Structure 1
Amino acid sequence: MSLVDLAFDRAAVAAWHDDINSGCLFNAASVRGVQAARVLFSPRSSVAPQLWLQLRIGRRRYMYRKAVMYFVGAPFGWRVRHVNRKAPSTTGSKHKASQRLREAGLPVPQGRIFTRDEIDAALDYFRSLGCEACVKPDRGLMGEAIVPRIGEVSQFRSAFLSATEKYERIVVEESVAGEVIRYMVVAGKVVAVRLDRPASVVGDGVSTIAELAERRNAETRSANLPVWNEMPLDGEAERILALDGLSMASRLPEGKRAFLRATSNIPTGGDGIGNPEGVHPSYAQSVLKAVAAIPDLALTAVDVMVADYRQPATLENHWFLDLNSAPGIANFHFPREGEPSDVAGHIMDWLLAGGPR
C-alpha cells in the first residue's frame, strides 16, 4: 500500500517539520473535513502557552502537540483532560507499569527500582541477577540513558551513575534478548505493527564499520525527515560492537549486519520496519491484555521484546518493555523500510466516533 493509497499528503506534513506527529494528524483531519488549526494553548496555568494543533469535533476540542493529546469540553463548563485520563500516572513510571502487568499475569523482565543514592544496593541486586542487566530511568523518554547488555560491574556502575545525573529513580532489570515489536493500539484495537531494529550497518566486504555508519548517517541527513535519526558513533556504539568482537575499524563481509546499539529506539538511530511479515497474531492478543490491565489507556504504543516473532506467544518468549501514553505516530507513516500505516487516520476515525468516554 502506498502513501497515496492512504490519502497521505507528504507536502502537507512537511509543513509541520517542527512537529511532524501533529502534521500527520492535521493531514488526516483535512482528509475528513475536520476543522483543524494551530492555536496557542496551555494545559496548565503554570505552563506558558505554545502552539498546539486544535481539532474541533462536536462539543469537544482536541489539543495535540508532539504526541501528547488532551480534550477540552464538558456539560458544565470547560475542563482539560488527558486523552488517556489517569493512565499516564501508571505508564509514566516503567516500574509501576511493570508491576501492573506482572499482577495481571503478563511477562515482564525481572527487576527492581532504586533511588540515585542506592548504588550499593543496586550493585548487590545486579550481582544477584546472574545475567546481563539493563539500567534505565523510571521516567525516561525516547530511550535516554537506557543501557542494556551490562555484564560487568564497572559497566553497571558507570551506567547507573550516568542515569542518576538527570533522574532520581533508576530501574535495574534483567536484559532480555530478541526483537522489539511496537504495536499501536487505538480504543482497544491494534491498528499498526512495526519492528524497531537497533542502529546497525550491513557490510559490503570492503568498507569499515565507521565508513558504513557515516554513509548511513549521510543518507539520513539527505532524507531530511525529523523521524529518521542518525546513529550516534560514541562509546556505547563501541561497547556494543566489542560485545560481538568488532570495532569501528572492522570490515564486515558482504551482507553481514553489525549492531551499534542494543536499544531499538528511533531517536538513537533505530530503523522502523512497517508491517513486518510473519508476526504471529498471538502477540497482538497479548498486547491487548496488557492494555486492558491499565484502566483508561485508550491511545498507546506498546513495545514488546520477542524472542522469535514467528512463533506463538508464551510466557517465556516475550516481555513487555513499555506502554506509552503519548506515542509518536509519524514513524508509522514514514518507516525506514516496509509499508506505512495510516495511524493518524485511525485516531481521527476514533475521535469522530466519540473518542474517549
Structure 2
Amino acid sequence: MPERRTDERTLSWPSRVTPSGTDGHSPLEKVIAEDVLPRVGALNAPTKILATSGIFWGPLKNRGVRGSIVSDDHRVYMRNGKVIGGRDAAGTSLTSDLGERILLTKSEAKQHLQRAGLPVPRGRVFSPDDLESAQAYASSSSGPVVVKPNGRTSGEGVATGLRSESMVAAAWRSATAASIQAERPRPWDPEPRDEDRVDRILVEDDDAGLALRVFVTGEQVLGAVIRLPMFVVGDGDRSIGELIAELVEWRASHAFLKRMTPREKVVERRLEHLGLVADAVPGAGEVCRVQESPNIHLGGLSLDVTDRLHPALADLAIEARWAIPGVLAAGIDLSVPRISSSRGVVIGVNERASQQIHLYPAFGSPRNVTHGIIDLFARSRS
C-alpha cells in the first residue's frame, strides 16, 4: 500500500498514485503524483480575494489611469482626460464586436483556428434532437470523446472521457440543458449557420490531455496554469464521501478555492452522474474525478506553470489569439500531454477569461495578468 500522509495541516492522502491503465499514469494522474501530492502541505493561502475591479485597481493606478463606474460591473478607463478603454465584467474593449460574435459559439471559433492552420480536435456539431447520430459519430472515434454545448456556458454541460453510448447519452442531457442557458446572439447580429447556432451540441475527440490555460495580451504570454478537475485520491480505507469531506476542509484554507467549492448537493448530483457511490472505498492511490470539466469556478484546482511553459506552446497560444480577428487579449485553452510538452491542441479561446485563477493559483506563483490589459489600453491611445 502507498505511504499515507499524516500531517494534520495537509490532506492525509497517499503520496503515490496507482496508474489506471496498463500504459502507466494518465496525464492527469502524472501531474497529481508529481506536482500536487508532494505540495498539498504548501497550498497557497491568500486571506483576501479581490474582485475584478480590485484586481484592475493597482495596474490602473501605476499608469495614471482613472476608472469611472458606469453601472454595476461596467467601467470606463481614462487617462489625461481621454477614454482609453472599458470593461464589462471580465470582458474588455480589447475585443471587437466581430470577435465577440465569433466567440459566441465554439464551432465558429474552431473554424477560424483551422483556417489559421492551428491544431484542433476532430469534431462535429449536432442538433439537440440528433443524439443517435452523435452516438454513432462518437463510436467512430478511436478513443474517448467530449460532449459540450456549442454556446457559451461557462463550463456548464461539458463532459469528458466518454467511452460508451450510455455515457454519451447522459452527457447529452447535461449539454442540452446547459445550451438552454447559453448566451444568445444579439438581435442585430447576422443569422448564424445551423452548425454555428448556440443550441447545437459539439462532439469532439478527447486526447485525455492536461487542460492548460495561457493568458495572452498582444504578443505576450502573461500567465499559464494547468487546470485540474476536482478529484480525490483513495487510501483503501475511507469512502469517496469521507475523502471529499477532507478535501473540502483543506480547500477552506485557500480563500479563493473556498468560494469555488461546490455545495454538498451539487457534489452528490455529480457522483450520481459519474456513476460513483459516496460509500464506495477507492483503492490505495486510486484517483477518482469528482468533476468532468476542469473549470476552477466549479471546484477545480490551478497550478501555475508560467515558468515551465515550452516556447512552442507560448507561440501556439499567441497564434491562436491572432486567429480570432478583433481579440487582443484572451485566455487560450490548450490540451497538452504533459507540462513540459512542446505540442498541444487548441481547445478554445476565451476573451473573458478569469484573471483570478492566475492571481490566486492553488500552487505556484501568483500572476496579475491585468497589467498586460492596461498596457494595451494605454498603448492604443499613446
TM-score tier (shorter): 0.7 to 0.9
Distance, in Å, in 2 between the alignment partners of 1:21 and 1:227 is 17
Matched, 1:234 2:268: yes
Aligned to 1:216: 247
User: As a proportion of its length, which structure holds more helix?
Assistant: 2
Q: What is the deviation of 1:221?
A: 4.2
Aligned to 2:378: 352
Q: 2:366 aligns with which of 332, 340, 346?
A: 340
Closer, same or farther: CA 120–251 of 1 in aligned 2, 3 Å:
closer
Deviations 1:53-88 (A, max 9, x none): 332135215332320123xxxxxxxxxxx6344112
Paired AA for residue 370 in structure 2: A
Aligned to 2:301: 271
Does the 8 Å contact 2:170/2:273 carry over to 1?
A: no
Q: What is the deviation of 1:226?
A: 7.2
Distance, in Å, in 2 between the alignment partners of 1:182 and 1:259 is 20
Closer, same or farther: CA 336–84 of 1 in aligned 2, 3 Å:
farther
Aligned to 1:320: 346
Distance, in Å, in 2 between the alignment partners of 1:277 and 1:204 is 33
TM-score when scaled to structure 1? 0.78
Distance, in Å, in 2 between the alignment partners of 1:283 and 1:193 is 10
Distance, in Å, in 1 between the alignment partners of 2:236 and 2:52 is 38
Aligned to 1:55: 77
Distance, in Å, in 2 between the alignment partners of 1:37 and 1:198 is 37
Distance, in Å, in 2 between the alignment partners of 1:227 and 1:106 is 37
**Partner-residue secondary structure (3-state), 1:214:** helix
Count how many residue pairs are aligned between Structure 1 and Structure 2: 314
Aligned to 1:105: 117
Q: What is the deviation of 1:51?
A: 4.0
Paired AA for residue 57 in structure 1: R
Closer, same or farther: CA 107–298 of 1 in aligned 2, 3 Å:
same
Closer, same or farther: CA 145–102 of 1 in aligned 2, 3 Å:
same
Aligned to 1:75: none
Does the 8 Å contact 2:251/2:258 carry over to 1?
A: no
Q: What is the deviation of 1:36?
A: 2.0
Matched, 1:94 2:128: no
Does the 8 Å contact 1:180/1:195 carry over to 2?
A: yes
Q: What is the deviation of 1:266?
A: 0.6
Distance, in Å, in 1 between the alignment partners of 2:244 and 2:63 is 41
Does the 8 Å contact 2:146/2:158 carry over to 1?
A: yes
Q: What is the deviation of 1:157?
A: 1.6
**Partner-residue secondary structure (3-state), 1:139:** coil
Q: What is the deviation of 1:290?
A: 1.7
Q: What is the deviation of 1:300?
A: 0.4
Closer, same or farther: CA 204–282 of 1 in aligned 2, 3 Å:
same
**Partner-residue secondary structure (3-state), 1:302:** strand
Deviations 1:161-219 (A, max 9, x none): 33223422110111221111111000122111111111123456654332222222234
Distance, in Å, in 1 between the alignment partners of 2:106 and 2:112 is 10
Aligned to 1:119: 131
Q: Please show how residues 52-91 of structure 1 align to structure 2 within 5 Å.
A: 52-58=74-80, 59-60=82-83, 62-70=85-93, 83-91=95-103
Paired AA for residue 280 in structure 1: H
Distance, in Å, in 2 between the alignment partners of 1:94 and 1:227 is 30
Q: What is the aligned-residue RMSD (CA, Å)?
A: 2.8
Structure 1 residues without counterparts, runs of 5 or longer: 1-9, 41-49, 71-81
Provide the identity percentage. 24
**Partner-residue secondary structure (3-state), 1:135:** strand
Distance, in Å, in 1 between the alignment partners of 2:236 and 2:332 is 37
TM-score when scaled to structure 2? 0.73
Aligned to 1:281: 311
Aligned to 1:79: none
Aligned to 1:151: 163
Does the 8 Å contact 1:220/1:229 carry over to 2?
A: no
Does the 8 Å contact 2:149/2:175 carry over to 1?
A: yes
**Partner-residue secondary structure (3-state), 2:380:** coil
Distance, in Å, in 2 between the alignment partners of 1:204 and 1:166 is 35
Matched, 1:133 2:145: yes
Does the 8 Å contact 1:196/1:273 carry over to 2?
A: yes
Matched, 1:173 2:219: no
Distance, in Å, in 1 between the alignment partners of 2:303 and 2:133 is 39
Q: What is the deviation of 1:145?
A: 0.1
User: As a proportion of its length, which structure holds more strand?
Assistant: 1
Paired AA for residue 233 in structure 1: V
Does the 8 Å contact 2:99/2:324 carry over to 1?
A: yes
Does the 8 Å contact 1:301/1:324 carry over to 2?
A: yes
Q: Which moved more, 1:176-185 or 1:112-121?
A: 112-121
Closer, same or farther: CA 63–321 of 1 in aligned 2, 3 Å:
same
Q: What is the deviation of 1:247?
A: 6.4
Deviations 1:208-251 (A, max 9, x none): 33222222223434544378511552344466586xxx965325
Q: What is the deviation of 1:262?
A: 3.6
Distance, in Å, in 1 between the alignment partners of 2:258 and 2:58 is 16
Q: 1:297 aligns with which of 315, 322, 327?
A: 327
Q: What is the deviation of 1:350?
A: 2.1
Deviations 1:253-285 (A, max 9, x none): 3x6644322421112211111235533221111
Distance, in Å, in 2 between the alignment partners of 1:241 and 1:84 is 43
